[in-house]
Amino acid sequence: MNQAATTLLYSLGRTSVCLAVAAIVAFLLLRGLRCRSPAVHRAAWCMVLLTGWLFVRATVTIPWYDAPPLARRMFPSPASEVLEVAPSGDPVPSALGSDPVPLGDLPVKIDEPRDIAGTALSWPIALAAVWLLGGAAVVAWWSIGYLRFVRQLPFGLPLTEEWQAEWREALAECAVRHPVRLCVNDALGPLVCRVGGEDRLLAPLALWRELSSQERRAILRHELAHVRRGDLVWSMAARCLALAHWFNPFCWWAVRNFDECGEWACDDAVHRRGPGDAVAYARVLLRIGQADPRPPLGAAIGGRRLSTRIKRMLTGAIPEDSTMKKSVLIGSVGVLALIGAVEWRLGARVAGAVDQEVEATRGRLNVDRTLLKKMVDDAAKAYEASKASYDVGTEVMSNVYVWSRRWLEAERALAQTDEEEIAALRAHRERMRRLFLLINAFYTAGTRGGETPKFFATKYYLAEADVWLAAAKNRGAEPAPIEKVPVSFDGPAGMVVKWDARGQGKFDSEPLVCPGLREFLEGQIYRLWITKIRNFGDLEVLGTLELVTAQDGALPVDITAVEVKRIVLHKTGMTKVIYRTKESKVETLTSEWEKPDDQLVAEAERRGEVLAILRLWQGPGTVARIGAP
């Protein structure tokens, strides 16, 4: 709910600014080009109002910067990455030789359940409610004004024979297709209104007696032009478009200009009858302006700039605007509206920069394969020696990771095909998995060697290896188009999820409050940071989400309270494989990290097609307050 309100307010603010800019630009263009056509003016102001409804934007990526170097992207500094995994600001301990931590001393506190999502006032929801109430108030104001106007309507006074003849003549000239009734009354008019499905032309008795026959005919032609053009319907449609931005004065300015264009078009209909009718109607406008009648809200379509209308009536022949002038004006306003409907992003200039850099690196290193093979053998021996020394307690764990990584770098330099490179990455991942299982056993038992820094470091080493392996596989499948996968985070309600959106090692995405829906790229692995889990206090959960295959519809990702409690109490991570069965049903397989991921994925592949793999573990330096699930 909070996420939906935030999205709504952001869209309203963005479209409101775009509408204001479009209104100013349209006004300047119309004045600068001196366009006289009411149809062109009305089309421009209609496009301004439509700009306020471009809530959904298309994303356009502009190639702007070079892709980051492969070595820096694929082999980040382990120390900096481990520190960035702790988004809460708690430092990750760097000492690997600290005292053992018994299982019973780990900070797990039992507390009463509490609803974290509802503890503070939600300003987005409050502002969204104000927006809805404001729109409802505007509609109520319109309705009350119309009802009051209808109640004041007179039944109509009898028409003289002269007035009836003028009315029949005007109806025949204007060729109105449906019945219109002329109502002469004591006060209201001249104006056109719709009551009970019937159009009525109201004319004030005192004014009607004072006017000449030619002036009365000019008024009738003008008002019947409104009926023939359907200006009452168009005016109401413009106000409906403005309703979403009732708080924006530029929006109502555009509506007034839209209505004014309708008045100009009807004035031109009178002007085309001849100079005599034009001068007669100009005198009527001047008399109406001096009387300054003010009908109730929404009762009539009346001009607000009578002086401009009088000048147009007395100008003589109405010049026709050139096609070029019309095209420039409408095209400029349309392009401005479309710019507001596009989200511009800067991206890598060269799509294949990774492949080009890999080939360049291999070309530089392909000087002597004998030396490369010797480097691989030496790195392997150094890793085995470092691992053996660590097993007997004479070596630190970080050196085991460093030599496994150098072994991987040497094998990648030697690899001539993508298959050889992927095989090297798989071997490195298997070494990290065995190291994690060893440290996890010590950590669970609370013995020496299972210190908290080591436990979370090995978790990260394994996740890092998964990311590198997935990147290599995706690079091999580069020709396939990358699709967007809509992912629905279903719960628990109020849980906040952030992820590494730009691949810069930071949780820089917009926060998503569950339940919520966001789009991700197929074939990518996203690092996750999950907070505000209901009934678990300040617990922070880290993880990765690997999107293997897209499907029709949203991919459901649900984290239950039982699964979170298992992560906290058992000190183990959790892997969840989401797959599609052969009957096209979406199901999940869940396992703790003591069991290899490969077995879980293989079982899901046997049952159907793997869609996504979710891996979660408790964040470092966080304290869980466990309540009822």
Which spans in 272-391 are helix H? 275-291, 306-313, 323-340, 353-365, 369-391
Q: Do 274 and 298 share a domain, yes or no?
A: yes
Rounded CA separation 89/75 (Å): 24
State which H helix or E strand residue 74 sits in: helix 70-74
The per-residue pLDDT for 74 is: 40
Distance, CA of 18 to CA of 248 (rounded, Å): 11
The tokens for 164 are 């009836």
**Residue 274 within any structural domain of the chain:** yes
Preceding amide of 190 cis, omega within 30: yes
Q: 211 and 270 share a domain? A: yes
Tell me, yes or no, whether 515 lies in a domain: yes
This prediction's pTM: 0.50
Do residues 195 and 314 share a domain? yes
Q: Mean pLDDT for the chain? A: 78
- Beta carbons of 412 and 75 less than 8 angstroms apart: no
* Model pLDDT, residue 454: 84
**627 pLDDT more than 80:** no
Residue 498: give the domain boundaries: 481-626
Sign of CA dihedral 303, 304, 307, 309: negative
Q: How many CB atoms lie within 10 A of CB 95?
A: 9
Say if CB 316 and CB 241 are below 8 A apart. no
**384 found inside a domain:** yes
Residues 173 and 242 in one domain: yes
- Which segment of 39-43, 454-458, 480-484 scores lowest on mean pLDDT? 480-484
Co-location of 490 and 471 in the same domain: no
Which of 309, 339, 369 represents a domain boundary (last residue)?
Answer: 339
Average pLDDT of span 469-493: 74
Residue 355, amino acid: D
Average pLDDT over residues 187-216: 87
Angle at 351 between CA 348 and CA 354, to 5 degrees: 95
Query: 178: closest CA among 121, 229, 228, 113?
Result: 228
**Tokens standing for residue 629:** 């699930």
| Of the candidate ranges 17-31, 63-77, 149-163, 220-234, the one whose mean pLDDT is the lowest | 63-77
> What pLDDT is recorded for position 75?
40
d(Cα 206, Cα 199) in Å, to the nearest integer? 22
Residue 389 lies in a domain: yes
One domain, residues 192 and 326: yes
Query: Is it the case that residue 322 has pLDDT exceeding 90?
Result: no
Task: Please say if the pLDDT value at position 117 is more than 70.
Answer: no
How distant, in Å, are the alpha carbons of 392, 403, 461, 465, 573 from that of 387?
Answer: 9, 9, 15, 18, 24
Q: What is the mean pLDDT of residues 587-605?
A: 74
Judge if 544 and 577 occupy the same domain.
yes
Are 176 and 281 within one domain?
yes
One domain for residues 307 and 367: no
Output the DSSP codes for 426-482.
HHHHHHHHHHHHHHHHHHHHT-TT--HHHHHHHHHHHHHHHHHHHHHHHHHTTTSPP
Amino acid at 629: P
Q: Are residues 390 and 397 in contact, defined by beta-carbon separation less than 8 angstroms?
A: yes
Confidence of residue 245 (pLDDT cuts 50, 70, 90): very high
34 inside domain: no
| Residue 499 pLDDT greater than 70, yes or no | yes
Q: Helices 452-476 and 397-414 sit at what angle, rounded to 10 degrees?
A: 10
- Bridge pairing between strands 342-348 and 58-65: parallel
Q: Are 159 and 185 in contact (CB under 8 A)?
A: no
Question: Which of 289, 305, 339 marks a domain boundary?
Answer: 339
Instruction: Pick the closest to residue 462 from 543, 523, 531 (CA basis).
Output: 543
Whether the CB-CB separation of 37 and 326 falls below 8 Å is answered with yes
Within 8 A by CB and 6+ apart from 543, the residues are 527, 528, 530, 573, 614, 615, 616, 617
Listed in sequence order, the residues at least 6 apart from 377 whose beta carbon sits closer than 8 Å to its beta carbon are none
26 part of a folded domain = no
Please determine, for residue 249, whether its predicted confidence score (pLDDT) is greater than 90.
yes
pLDDT digits (tens, 9 = 90+) for 522-536: 878 888 888 888 888
pLDDT at 1: 59
Lowest pLDDT segment from 99-103, 370-374, 465-469, 477-481: 99-103
Structural domains of the chain, count: 3
How many residues does the structure list for the chain? Answer: 629
Residue 547 is which amino acid?
Answer: L
Residues 117, 532 contacting (CB under 8 angstroms)? yes
Domain boundary (311, 339, 367) is at 339
Read off the tokens for 584: 């096209």
**Domain contains 54:** no
Give CA–CA dist 79/100, Å, rounded.
22
8 A C-beta contact, residue 595 and residue 572: no
pLDDT digits (tens, 9 = 90+) for 349-387: 554 544 555 555 555 545 567 888 888 999 999 999 999
Residue-level pLDDT at 133:
95
Residue 386: CB atoms within 10 A of its CB come to: 21
**Would 577 be classed as within a structural domain?**
yes
Domain shared by 204 and 88, yes or no: no
- Return d(Cα 198, Cα 609) in angstroms, integer: 63
Over 70: is that where the pLDDT of 85 sits? no
Residue 361 and residue 218 share a domain: no
Please state, in angstroms and rounded to a whole number, the distance separating the CA atoms of residues 441 and 84.
25
Gap between the Cα atoms of 571 and 558, Å rounded: 20
Q: 39: which residues sit within 8 A by CB, 6+ positions away?
A: 261, 265
Whether residues 436 and 466 fall in one domain: yes
